Structures are given as structure tokens and as C-alpha cells.
Structure 1
Amino acid sequence: MIKNYLKIAWRNLWRNKFFSIINIMGLALGMACSVLIILWVQNELSVDSFHKNNDRLYAVIERQYYDHKVMGQYSVPGVLADEMKKTLPQVEYAVQMAWNNQNTFQVGTKILKLEGTSASADYFKMFSYPLIQGNAQTALNSPLSIALSRKMAVDFFGSPQEAIGKTIRYENKKDFKVTAVFEDLPHNVANKFEFLINWDSFLDENKWAKDWGNNGPIAYVMLRTGTDAALFDKKIAHFLDTYDKDQSAAFREQLGIQKFEDVYLHNNFKNGKPEDGRIEYVHLFSIIAVFILVIACINFMNLTTARSVKRAREIGVRKVVGAVRSVLIRQFVGEAVLLTCFATIIALVIVLLLLPVFNSVTQKQIDFPFGQIRFWLGLTGLTLITGLLSGSYPALFLSSFNPVKVLKGAVKLSTGAAWFRKGLVVFQFVLSVVLIIGTIVISKQVNYIQKKNLGYDRENLIYIPLEGDLTAKYKIFKNEALNMPGIQQVTRISDAPTNFGSTTGGVRWDGKDPNVNVMFTQVSTGYDFVKTMKLKLVSGRDFSRDHATDSVGYIINETSLKRIGYTNPIGKPFTMWGKKGTIVGVLKDFHFNSLHDPILPLIIHFGEENNYGMALIRTKPGQTKQALASAEKLCKELNPNFQFSYYFADAEYQKQYISEQVVGKLSNAFAFLAIFISCLGLLGLAMFTAEQRIKEIGIRKVLGASVGSLFTLLSKEFLILVLIALCIASPLAWLAMHKWLENYSYRTTIDWWVFVLSGVIAIMIALVTVSIQSAKAALMNPVKSLRSE
């Protein structure tokens, strides 16, 4: 019997090739999209989740209470991890780490700049990164020890085995001994690095990190087996009270922990606790995958039932000869599953073809999981569920035909069934219109970010790290650079102009409330900073060689002035870190961090003589290539042991919004796909309606109805369905996008025209879809449609 069912199913597919192709391709596209999203979601969920001791690994977080608010962060004192391990019996291992840096290494004549960081000795005891050479217990024990990745070891020494015990020159000032070589990090690691340097070496170079009142590094702990994490979290809340004596009623700190594997997806702090983050995108795209698959299933239902009249006599005859309804249901569900199997095969081909493009868009390195049994079991389940879901209604509908009426040629659609199918089309277009509106709003926000006036000119602005001999020779570099082709202005700055990350509460001024601690962002700059950045001064001036007192001068922004409260701030006393001085300038507010965050109070202090930071260069318009060539030539002369590196301020600014750009591109693709599949469903309903009303149309034509009036008659009900979908989708989309935009302190508006444009797009697409079938029905010869009468 099963063989007979398969034969019937195959003959039906072959007899209706056009219908079968549309049906299978609709399902295949929906499934391909869902599979791609599932692969992306699996990749996101797998990040940092592979460590053997993940159930005991935790990141230490710090909550700061000041200025009537609670702020959370991962930055902690640089000596915290070691102290926690010494004093807390629940902690088996603890690691302190710095942020990633680009550092220069040299072996012989080979010089490379690579990204890495510093970590304390317990790192390889806690985290499951395989060591090719060396021992996890001793890999980072010595202050001058360094662990290299396989790639770095091969680049410098030819092989991991040859690297062990060899020395490698660091920043042309220190020699490290290679004590371990670890396997190149997998793609699902959030924090990628090519080397790890012993933590003591970091502390030697960064004395400030030893102060309990300074934050910056991050800390991880591994709890002993059986430790209650919730109780431990409560126990360490006031751990810093013993060590940081700067706490007061105006400023206090508390510690907490967060599971290490959750940090990647939940790293946005709200009220001092990590909650949202990339997990929102995981949820968003998971919902979109379900939406598109449901749209594809609805499309299948409508197309299948649209062809019901063609199979009505077959069903009638089979019922007359004894076929029961349950047998017919199994047959039609089986046909749906068979179609879905074909669709799955095509979907897999589409996924394999599109995966490189998908990886490029999402900036991932997702491999197709050929060898994962769990993936194939999941795909099998998805195929069966899709087949059952998409085939259930057609099976119930087709098997319900009355054989007597069918054989008399009177196949009628009940009112309830008609409303159900129209409801499915409305539901399809609700999901599609939500995606269209969401796509437009996301595009508006991305465009807003790209064109937002930041308060400075980020075009023609580059910065070069001051490293090696270039640090001490900055004055020479600046003087010579200003006389070279393409270079307009040069200054120095302690942090990248797109990301001022250092904050301080050690600020005093006349009239400050001792019970309120205000946190200021701080950055040090050299002469001509305001001119180079093209910032606007509200009052006062830039740092200048004409003023000897600028070493204790401060420039603040408008937000700082509001918090300080001075009416005429220029020349007023101001103290930071105990260094008394005066305010010499007030800048108009400008964005120095992501648009996700509001503009914070900013203090700019003098740093022309600093031994760190970067040179900030304003190039002449249209002469960036000449400026870079000039800067590279000069750097090689002054700093021959270091590779020349530079960064464009506008490119670094855009990197802050990679997630938004990816979401925008994917939303465009998903919205198009959803509309396309929905149109196939609408086409199915149009075909069904035309077949149901074929005799009515014939009679109307005989009585003199024009083609135009018939076209309008057949098309208007579909437009009504789309309008209903638009009315339902608009408030849903507004709520969803309003919540998404709340992640930005500076955001675009959801204008009325967004909904109008979405409606016009949906209506135009629907009109084009149904017009072909409506025109075909309206132009049909009435003699053919009325022949049986």
C-alpha cells in the first residue's frame, strides 16, 4: 500500500510540474533560511561554552554605587584575583587578565605585530585550550614567560617544538622565554589572542594596576567542586571594603560573579547586573527563523488546497470504493512529507552554496556540520514537523470532500474554511510587513549612525600608535610630519578618538557636594588637539605653547560644566587626582564613545610629555595616500624596529556598529524572502478563488461584464487582506522596533512614512502577484467554463 501511495504522490507531482516546483521551492527557501539561522544561533550559543570546567568558571563583576545610580562593569583592580585566591577557600584558581593589545615581536630579522594579552599563572589550569608544548601547571609561572599560539610559533620558529625554550624580543625592550605553545584558538572563542604574557610583567609596566582604587583588568575565578555559586556571590559582595579605603557614602563598590559562558551573550549591564547583549539578536533571529518557516508552511497549505478541485474526483472515487478518511489523511500527509523531503534536499544545496556569503555577511566562520549526528537528527525532526504542519490542513480539507457532491461536480468551500485560509494569508502578511517595517527602521538607524554629526570631523583623521622609539621622539615626529606632503595637523592623545575608556571620580571643584561622587571620563592630549579634531569651543581656548601653566590646565565639555555648576568657568579652580589647576576651555559636547551611550562628563588634561598613547593626524582633503606615505617613511626612520601601523578614525567608528550592520543586511534578506514566500501563498489563494468562481466569472462575462470589472472583483478581496495585515502588523512592529531603539541613547525616529512605505510595498507586491491569476481568470473564454452546464 505504501508503494501505491508513493506512486500516486509521484504521479501527482509529475502531472503538476509548475505547481510542484513552486511548492517545493517555497518550502526549500523557508527551510534553507531557517537552517542558516539555526547554524548561526548554534555558533553564537557555542561561544566560550566548550571548556571542561565551565560549570565552575565565573567572571568577577563590579557594581559601583554613585551619583544616585548603579553601574556595572567587568573592570576590577589588577590585584583582585590573586587576593581572592589567597583569602577565599571556595576559589580553586583565579586569573587576572588585561585587554588585548597589538604588540611587536622580533626574532632575528623577522618582526611581526600580533594581538595578545597578559594573564596570570592559573590561566591554562582553568581554561581548556590544548597545549601542544609545555605544561599547564608551569606555562605562565615566570615573570618573563610567554605562551604562543601554534601559528605564532610556526611564524617565528618553524614549529611548536622548536619554539620551546627560545627567547623572543618584546616591544624591542624585553626578552621573553617561550614556555608553552597552545593550539590555535577555535572560531567560537570570544576573546582571541596569539600570545599570553605573564601577569607580573603587566604589573611591572602598569604600576597603577596595583592600586586597589584603580580598575581596568578583568578577573575570572574557578570555584571548588560543590561550592554554591549563589552563596559565594553574596559572600564576596563587600570583599573590597577591606582593601579600597576610598569608599564613602558618595561612592561604594560591590563584587559579584557571572558564569563565564554567559559573558559573551549577556554583557550589557542594567542596574549593575549583566542582562542583555548579543542574546537579543539570538532571540530575534530565532523568532525570524520560526516566522519564515511558518510562512513557508502556510504557503504550502494554500497552494495545496488551491489545487484541490483538480483532485476532487479522485477523492470522490476513492471514497466510493471504500477508502476511509483516516487512510486519505495519511496519504495526503505522506505526500506533504515527501514534498518536504525534496524541499529539504534542495534547502541543503542552497545552504551549502550560500554559506560562504552568509559567513561573509555575519563575519563568522561557520562550517557545515557534516559529521554532527545531532544536526542531522534535528534536521530530520525539522523535516517531519514541517511536513506534518504544512500537510495537516490540506489533508483534513481534501479528505472531507463529500463523494456524492464531488462526483456531481459541486465542490464548494465552506464559509469557515474560506475564512481560515484568508486568515492564514493575513497571518503571512502580518509577519512579512513586520519584517519590512523592521528592516526600514534598522536601515534608518544604521544610516543615522553613519551620518550622525559627532561634534568633530572624523573624515581625513588617522592615528598612529606611539611605540618603541617613537614615544621619546614624538616632538621630532610632529615637527617633521607637519612639513611633509598631505599632513595638515598633528597632536597626541592617550586614547583612540572613538573610544575614551578611562574614568575617574577623583575630581574636586569649589562648591562640590561632598556627598555626591560624579564619575568623569578623562583623556590626556597634547597641543592643537581641538584644532586637529575640529572641535568647537564654547569658551576659553585649546592647550597652547604660549601658556606655561597648561600643564595644570583642564578642558571640559558642556556636560561636565553642567555637573560642576560654574557660571563663568574659565580660570576657575579645578583639581584632578590632587593636581590643582584651572579650567582653560569648555568644549561643545561631542561623541567620544558609542551612540549606545549618552555623552558623559569629560575632562581633557595636558599630556604632551606622556610616554604612551598615539599620534593623531589630520590629513589634507584628498591627500590621505600622500599623508600615509609621508608618515610611514618618517616612522621607519625614527622607529626602524617596529612595523608601521595606522587606523582611520571613521573606520574605527564604524566597527562599533558591526552588529547593527549585520542585522541590517540579514533583515533585508529575510524580509525579501518572507515577502516572496508570502506571495506564493497569495498566488495559491488567488488560484483557488479563481477555480471556485470560474462559473460565476463565465456568467458575468456572458451578461456583459468587462475584463477590468472582473479583474477588480477578483483582486480587491486580496488587497483587503493585505490592508488588514498592515493594520495588525504596524503596532506590533512599532512596539518591537521601539524596544530595539531603546538600546541607543541617540537614535532615529519611527516616522509615519515608514508604515505608509511598508504598506505601499506590500500592496504593490500583492497586486503584482494576484494580477496575473486574476487577469487569466478574467480573460478566460466563458464557453469553456460553462460547458458542463
Structure 2
Amino acid sequence: MILNYFKSARRNLWKNKTNTIINVLGLALGITCSLGIFVFVNYELSFDKFHTNAKRIYRIVEHSKKADGIQHWPTTAYPLAEALKREFPDIGVTQTAGPDKKIISAKDQKGDVKRFEESRVMFADADYLRLFDFKNAFEKGLWIAGNAATAFQQPNAVVLTEKMAERYFGEVSNNYDDLIAKTLTLNNTDILTVSGIIRNPPANTNLPFDILINYQFFKSKNTYQANNWSGNYLGTTYVELPAGADPEKFEKAIDRFKSKYLKAEDNRRISYFLQPLSDIHTNSLYSSEPGSYVLGKEILWGLGSLAVFLILIASVNFINLSTAQAMQRQKEIGVRKAIGSTKAQLFFQFMSETFVLALLAGFLSINGLYGLLWIVNQKLSFIDLALKPDSQTWLFAAGLIGIITLLAGSYPALVLSGFKPAMAIKNNVQRKTSGISLRQGLIVFQFGITYCLLVATWISSDQMSFFQRKGLGFSKDAVLTINAPRDKKSGQLDAFRQELLQYPYIKDVSFASGAPLTQNWYGTDFRLKSEPVTMARQAEMKSTDTNYQRLFGLQLVAGQWISASNIVPDSVRFNGFVINETMAKMLNLSPEKAIGEKLVINEGEAPIIGVVKDFHNASLQQAIQPCVFMYSNAPEQIHVQLLATNGRISNLPQTLAHLSQIWKENFPDDVYQFTFLNESLAKNYFVEQLVFDAFKAFAAISIFISCLGLFGLIILTAAQRTKEIGVRKVLGASITSVVGMLTADFVKLVVCAIVLALPISWWAMHQWLQGFAYKTEINWWVFALSGIFAVVIALVTVSFQSIKAALMDPVKSLKSE
């Protein structure tokens, strides 16, 4: 019996090739996109779930009360971990520092020293790879050589990932045990001893590292930071609670014990909380771990909603085409019922047709999925995205096919199987059934979603353009950034600068902690000397030189920039600060009145000597932050401004080669690597770019699927009204009136969809834009143009078949059955 159902389904689908192609193509597109979104969302939700006790591991985060609000930090003071071990011996605790950039040196087989600048070097204690064991990430286990029990016994021990081991020691042919006790050099001075080799951590982790160095080594080299309870640097503390332990009770216990270690003022302002490991990757309240990124749950919910909408649109096509085709299958249904087919048998017959269509679409979507994932992986390669389907994907695909079969097939099957045999054989089933009104409602629903996606695409595009158009308040073009050398003698940087400035295609050089808008955010407390300690607020701190303001084009509104007269030679001391307008406002001072006021920050006390016009020191999602500039002779970055004409950098290849040569002559023991500032800034908006690309792609697919459905419906409508068209033409109707008659109903439904979807789309985009401190306006013409575009698309879709029907010979039309 079941085999007969599928044989009959195959014949009917082959007989109605056009509808079959439209349905399969629409469903395949919907399934492909839904599977792609599932893979991406599933990947984003899978971060760090592969550790044995992942559900019991928490990151300790810090909330710091300031006069201007609460600061949320994912990092904590370094001594916290050791205090927790003493106070709560029954819990697991691990402490990290970093990841950070370091220079690692290794000797090759010829004895030559090769240097590498690594950005994911992390210091970790002996408990780190016990808590984070990656057990379910690797079938053969995490450790290739060495083990967690002995790897951190030596203070200078280093654990390498497989990738790093091959980089430093070449192909080892799986003899990784031979690498144990080999040595590397850190920052050209400190010897590290290899104590273990582990597999490369998977990309879906918020604990990105390539090299692990014993945390005891960090403590010995950074005594002040390692013992400072008031500072918050790059230290992260994780705890593993015993089974059944209550996280809230543990938070209260920490709150009670911290007064034992913190100063009274720090105890008042600092609170510690537990953040579940599974929450780290999707909670945007806290900044991401260095080297990783945060993708908020609202983004994932939005992508999931798009997947649901695309499946619904494709299913709507099937329901509409199936119910519209019902008129052409009346006799078939009547004959089947007359010879004994029951309503249940007919229901399963039509459901089998839906299942075959969904199955065909599923097979097509497999190839489409691999293509889609390849595009996404390439697009987001800078975050090491490596999406691929797994067993969960195929289970989801199977469930999706089943859901589509029920969703798209059940209603048409009920309608078709419910025809009365006598009426069906006479082709006398009433056309104005509930199915017709439902079909109209589904068209409205379908185009309502399409309209919302069109509006979302337009407004997100406008927001991205706004980011690109809006001035940042500083010059960012033709500027490249080099990490400052670690080993430098007094005066060596100035000599390097003078050599560069002699080259005609180099315009300016500045040494600083970072560009005006940089991801390296260094905070400091600030207050006027006349204010009490409780008035301390948080500001960004930038260490700069005398050239910084000129190179980046920062505008002074009062006072002066840092000059030689403000600098104490061969020292990090300073005689004055420069602040931005936002900071002056927070001090309740005008730029002019701020000059000369004594300012106290964590790093010292000095008068304000200048105020610069506000510039964006954070991405445009955030408001401008208060900022203080101070002089330092220990920069972290070198900024080189190249000569450019009409926005085009002059003589770039030769200039880069000259830069490299001068670097090697001055700093032979340091690695030369550069990035263009423009490219670095673009990464600040990758989440927004992802949202925009998703809207753009899915809006196009939604339009295409909707148009497929309309095209199929107009074909069936024209076929059902063939005689009516013939009679109208014989009675003198023009081609224009016939085309208008066939298209009018569809256009009315599209206009109705626009009217209903307009307030929904406005509300949704208004809410989305609230997440940006600087945002474009929602203009009325966006909704008007989106509506016109939707109507035009509908008209173009139905007009071709309408004109074709109107041009038919009326004699042939009147002879048709």
C-alpha cells in the first residue's frame, strides 16, 4: 500500500512538472538557509561545552562601582585565585594571565635563531588543563606528549600546541616525546623548557591560546601586578564548584571574605560574581577574552527567526500551489472516492507527495549547504571560523523534512481528501472555499515577511554606510601600526624615527600605547584633586609622545599638547595631562577652565595642560569615553603615517621594503609585523556587518521564494480562468484589461501585506538601532521605497504569465476543458 502511494506521488509530480520544480526549488532554498543558520547558531552555542565539568565551571567577573556608574570587567585582580584556594579548599580554582603578544625564539637544525611574534601566549597554573581538559573535543585525548600532572612542575615550563611545536621544531613525524626538555627563548632573554605538547584547541573556545607558560614564571617577573588587589589587568580567574553547589551561595561567601584582603575603599566599590562558562561567548555585558569575540544572544535569536521565516515562506508556496491546483484534480479525487478510496487513504496519498517533494528538496539542499558554509567561512576567516555539518545537522535536517511535510502537506491533504465524490466528478466543487481565503492570508503573510526583510536590509545598509561616512575625529588613512620593539636602549627609538622621517614617502612617526580608536583599552580612575576619593570615575588612558596629536590630526580646543617642556628626560614621569572634551564635561569644567586644574589618576598627579576636541575612542556602537593622555617613553606601538595623494598611498611597495630594512638594522632581535589602521578598525564592526549580510542575503532569498510562489499561482489562476479570458476577449476586452484582471488580486494582497508589516518592521528596526550610541535616522521613504519595490517585484512576476494568457487565441480558450 505504502509503495503504491509513492508510485502515484511520482506520477502526479511528473505530470505537474512546473509546480514540482517551483516547490522543490523553494523548499530547497529554505532548507539550505535553515541548515546553514542551524550550523552557525549551533556552533556559536557550543563554545567550551567539551570540558568534562563545563556545567560547573564559572568565570569570576568584577563589578566596580564608580561615581559615573558600574564598570563590568571579565578580569579580576591576580591574587584572587590564591586567596580562593586558601579560603575554599573544596573548589577547583585556576588563574591565567593573557593571552598577550610575545616574541618566541627557537634554533633551527642549522643552529640559526628564528624569531616569531605570537599573539596568543598565555600564562596558566597547574590546574588550568585539569579544569579545561578538552576531553570531549578529541577522540585520542588532549595530550600528545607530557601530562597535566607534571607539565607545570618547573617554573619556566612551557606547553606547546601541535601547531606551535611544528613551527619551532619542524616536522617531528609524531615523535613528540623527543621535544620534551627542548628549550625556547621568551622575549630574547628568558629560557623556557618544553614540558608538554597538546592538540590544537578547537576554534569554538573562549580560551584562545597557542602557548601556555607556567603562571609562576609570570609572578616572578611581574611581582607588583601579581600581588596587587586594586589593579585589574589581564588576569582571569575560573572556579569549578562541587556537584550540587549553589553558585549564589558561593557569590555571597566571596562577598564576605573579600574584605579580608581588599582595602576599605576597594571593598566598597568591588563586587565579584560568577558567570557560567556557557554564558561567556553570548553575553555582551562583559568584553570578550583577549583574542576571542562575543556574539550576543539577540543576534542568534534573530538568525534563528530568519530560518523559521524562510521555511514558512517556502511552506506557504506549497500550500498555496496545492490548494490552487485542487480545482484541476477534482475528477481524479472523485473517481478515487467512487471506486472505494477512503478519506484517510487520500490524505496519506497527498502527504506522500509532499514527503517526496521535501525529500527531493532535502537532497538538493545538501550541496547547497556545503556551498553556503564555504562562503561564510571565507567571509569570517579572520575569526578562524570553520563551520561544517555534523551528525546534529543531519538529525536536524531529517526533523526539518518531517516538519515541512506536516506543515506544508497536512492542510492541502485535508482539503483535497475532503471533496465530495459526486461534486468532484462533475467539476462542481465550489471555488470560494475556506482554502481560497486561507491562500490569500498566506500570500499576505509571505509578502509581509519579505517586506520586513527589505526594510531591515535597507536600514542596516544605511547604518553601515553611516559608520563609514561618520568622521571619527582623527585621521586614520595611510597609517600603519608596528608593535614597538621590546628590547630598546635609551634614544634608540628617536634615532629610528629620524631615520624614517628622512625617507620622502614617510610623513610622520609617533610612539604610543595605541591609536585613538584601538581595541587595547587601558583604563584608569580620575578625579580632580579637590574632589573626594569617592568621586573617582573611569577614563581611558593613552600614553603618547609629542607627535601623536599632529599625526592623527587631533584638534586642540584649549591649552597645548605635550611638548618637550612637559617631559622629564629618561623617565615615565610627566608634568601635565591632556584630556578630551567628554572628560572635561564629566569634571563639570569648560575646556578653558580645565587648564591648570590638578588631576589625580592611578598613575600619578599633574595639572591639565590641554583639551582636545572629542574623537571616537570606541567603536560607533558606544558613546565617546573620557580620555586622558600622558607622556611615556615606553610605547607599545609605532604609528607611521605614509604620504598619500588623493587618498592613494604613494610608492607603497618601496616604502614598506624601506621600513622593513630600517627595522632590521635597528632592532635585529625583534619581529617586524605591521597592520594598516583602516583594516584594524573595520574589525570593530564585524557583528554589524554579519547582521547586514544576513539581512541582505535572506531578503534576496525570501523575495525569490515568494516570487516563485506567485509565478506558480498565476499559472494555475490563468489555467483555471482560460474560458473566462476567451469569453472576455470575444466580447471585446483588451489585452490590458485582461492582464489587469489577472494581476489586480495579487497586487491588492501585496499592498495589504505592506500595510500590515509596516508598523512591525518600524518597531523591530527601531529596537535594533537602540543598541548603537550613534545611529542613522529611520526615514519614511525607506518604507515607501521598500513597498514600491515589493509591488514592482510582484507585478513583474505575475505580468509575464498574465500577458501570455491574455494573448491566447480566444477560439482555443473557448475549446479548452
Provide TM-score, normalisation by structure 2: 0.91
Q: Show the counterpart of 1:113.
A: 117
Q: Deviations over 1:70-99 (max 9, x none)?
A: 232112112211211121234223223323
Deviation at 1:177, TM superposition (A): 0.7
Aligned position for 1:476: 495
Query: Which residue number corresponds to residue 273 of structure 1?
Result: none
Q: Secondary structure at the match of 1:352?
A: helix
Does structure 1 residue 152 correspond to structure 2 residue 172? no
Q: Specify the alignment match of 1:542 in structure 2.
A: 561
Give secondary structure in 2 for the equivalent of 1:698.
helix
Residue 24 of structure 1 deviates from its aligned partner by 0.9
- Partner of 1:730, secondary structure, is helix
User: Closer, same or farther in 2 for the Cα pair 1:490/1:368, shift >3 Å?
Assistant: closer
Give the equivalent residue in structure 2 for 1:32: 32
Task: Show the counterpart of 2:274.
Answer: 257
Q: Which position in structure 1 is the counterpart of 2:643?
A: 620
- CA gap 1:444/1:470 in 2 versus in 1, 3 angstroms: farther
How far apart, in 1, do the equivalents of 2:192 and 2:585 lie?
Answer: 49
1:561 partnered with 2:566: no
Which stretch shows the higher mean deviation, 553-562 or 190-199? 190-199
SS at match of 2:40: helix
Determine which of 173, 184, 187 is the counterpart of 2:189.
Answer: 173
Structure 2: segments with no counterpart, 5+ residues? 135-141, 288-293
Q: 1:233 aligns with which of 247, 251, 260?
A: 251
Residue identity matched to 1:175: I
Distance 1:672 1:347 in 2: 17
**CA 1:21–1:102 in structure 2 vs 1: closer, same or farther (change >3 Å)?**
farther
| Contact 1:84–1:94 under 8 Å retained in 2 | no
Give the CA deviation at 1:553: 0.8
Give matches, 1:5-404, under 5 Å.
5-67=5-67, 69-107=69-107, 108-115=112-119, 116-129=121-134, 130-158=142-170, 159=172, 160-206=176-222, 207-216=224-233, 217-245=235-263, 247=265, 252-269=269-286, 277-363=295-381, 365-366=385-386, 368-369=388-389, 372=391, 374-404=392-422
Which of 511, 516, 524 matches 1:492?
A: 511
Whole-angstrom distance in 2 between the partners of 1:509 and 1:778:
82
Instruction: Report the counterpart of residue 459 of structure 1 in structure 2.
Output: 477
- Cα distance in 1, alignment partners of residues 90 and 265 from structure 2: 26
- How far the C-alpha of 1:759 sits from its partner, in A, is 1.0
* Counterpart residue number, 2:760: 732
Cα distance in 2 between the residues matched to 1:409 and 1:127: 70
SS class of match (1:519)? strand
SS in structure 1 of the partner of residue 537 of structure 2:
coil
Contact 1:209 1:215 (C-alpha < 8 Å) held by counterparts: no
Bigger mean CA deviation after superposition, 155-164 or 751-760: 155-164
Read off the aligned partner of 1:594 and give its amino acid letter.
S
User: How far apart are the structure 2 equivalents of 1:752 and 1:461?
Assistant: 39
- Tell me the matched-pair count: 778
Q: Secondary structure at the match of 1:539?
A: strand
Distance in structure 2 (CA, Å) of the matches to 1:239 and 1:485: 62
Q: Which amino acid aligns with 1:519?
A: Q
The offset of 1:102, in angstroms, is 4.8
Residues 174-232 of structure 1: CA deviation (Å, up to 9, x unaligned)? 11111111111112223322101122333344433431110022211122333222211
Give the conservation status (yes or no) of the 8 Å contact 1:504–1:522. Answer: yes
Q: Deviations over 1:106-126 (max 9, x none)?
A: 334222222322222211111
User: Aligned Cα RMSD in Å?
Assistant: 2.2
- TM alignment of 1:633-712, pairs within 5 A: 633-712=661-740
| Aligned mates of 2:470, 2:655 — CA distance in 1 | 26
Query: Do the aligned partners of 1:528 and 1:542 also contact (CA within 8 Å) in 2?
Result: no
Deviation at 1:699, TM superposition (A): 2.3
Separation of aligned partners in 1, 2:258 and 2:662 = 48
What per-residue deviation string (whole Å, max 9, x for no partner) do you get for residues 469-516 of structure 1? 3465212111211112321111111234422511122x3425425542
Give the deviation of 1:617 after TM superposition: 1.6
Residue deviations 1:317-351 (CA, integer Å, cap 9, x gap): 11222222221111001111011111111111221
Q: Does 2:561 match 1:530?
A: no
| Gap change, CA 1:578 and 1:591, over 3 Å in 2 | closer
- Secondary structure in 1 aligned to 2:775? coil
Q: Distance in 2 between matches of 1:239 and 1:754?
A: 57
The whole-number CA distance in structure 1 between the counterparts of 2:682 and 2:642 is 19
Q: Which amino acid is the alignment partner of residue 616 of structure 1?
A: H
- 1:440-451 mapped onto 2 (5 Å cutoff): 440-451=458-469
Give yes or no for the alignment of 1:781 onto 2:800: no
| 1:593 maps to 2:618 | yes
The one-letter amino acid of 2:126's match is: A
Secondary structure of 2:123's aligned partner: strand
Shift of 1:56: 1.7
Contact 2:451/2:787, CA 8 A, preserved across alignment: yes
CA distance 1:496–1:148, change in 2 (3 Å): farther
User: What pairs up with 1:410-429 in 2 under 5 angstroms?
Assistant: 410-429=428-447
CA distance in 2, matches of 1:60, 1:286: 30
Separation in structure 2 between the aligned mates of residue 483 and residue 444 of structure 1, nearest angstrom: 43
Alignment correspondent of 2:782: 754
Q: Secondary structure at the match of 1:295?
A: helix
Q: Which runs of 5+ in 1 are unaligned?
A: 271-275
Deviates more, 1:327-336 or 1:160-169: 160-169
Equivalent pairs: percent with the same residue? Answer: 36
Residue type of the partner of 1:349? N
> Which SS does the other structure have where 1:280 is aligned?
helix
Quick check: 1:32–1:348 contact (8 Å CA) kept in 2? Answer: yes
Give the alignment's TM-score, normalised by structure 1.
0.94
Amino acid at match of 2:563: S
CA contact (8 A) 1:296 1:677 kept: yes
Q: Secondary structure at the match of 1:121?
A: coil
Per mean C-alpha deviation after superposition, the further-off stretch among 205-214 and 545-554 is 545-554
What displacement does 1:628 show? Answer: 2.5
Q: Residues of 1 paired with 2:430 and 2:746: CA distance?
A: 20
Distance (Å, rounded) in 2 between the aligned partners of 1:299 and 1:238: 62
Asked if the contact 1:537–1:588 (Cα under 8 Å) also holds between the matched residues in 2, the reply is yes
Structure 1 residues 244 and 471, CA gap change in structure 2 (3 angstroms):
farther
- Is the 8 Å Cα contact of residues 536 and 588 (structure 1) preserved in structure 2? yes
Tell whether the 8 Å contact from 2:144 to 2:198 is kept in structure 1 after alignment: yes
**Alignment of 1:744 onto 2:793:** no
Deviation at 1:670, TM superposition (A): 0.9
595 and 490 in structure 1: CA distance in 2 versus 1, 3 angstrom threshold? same
- Superposition deviation, residue 427 in structure 1: 0.6
Letter in 2 for 1:171: N
Secondary structure in 2 aligned to 1:169?
Answer: strand
> CA distance change for structure 1 residues 68 and 655 in 2, over 3 Å: closer, same or farther?
closer
The answer to whether residue 561 in structure 2 is matched with residue 574 in structure 1 is: no
Contact 1:238–1:255 at 8 Å: present in 2 too?
A: no
Q: What secondary structure sits across from 1:46 in the alignment?
A: coil
Which stretch shows the higher mean deviation, 204-213 or 728-737? Answer: 204-213
Instruction: Give the Cα separation in 2 of the matches to 1:379 and 1:723.
Output: 35
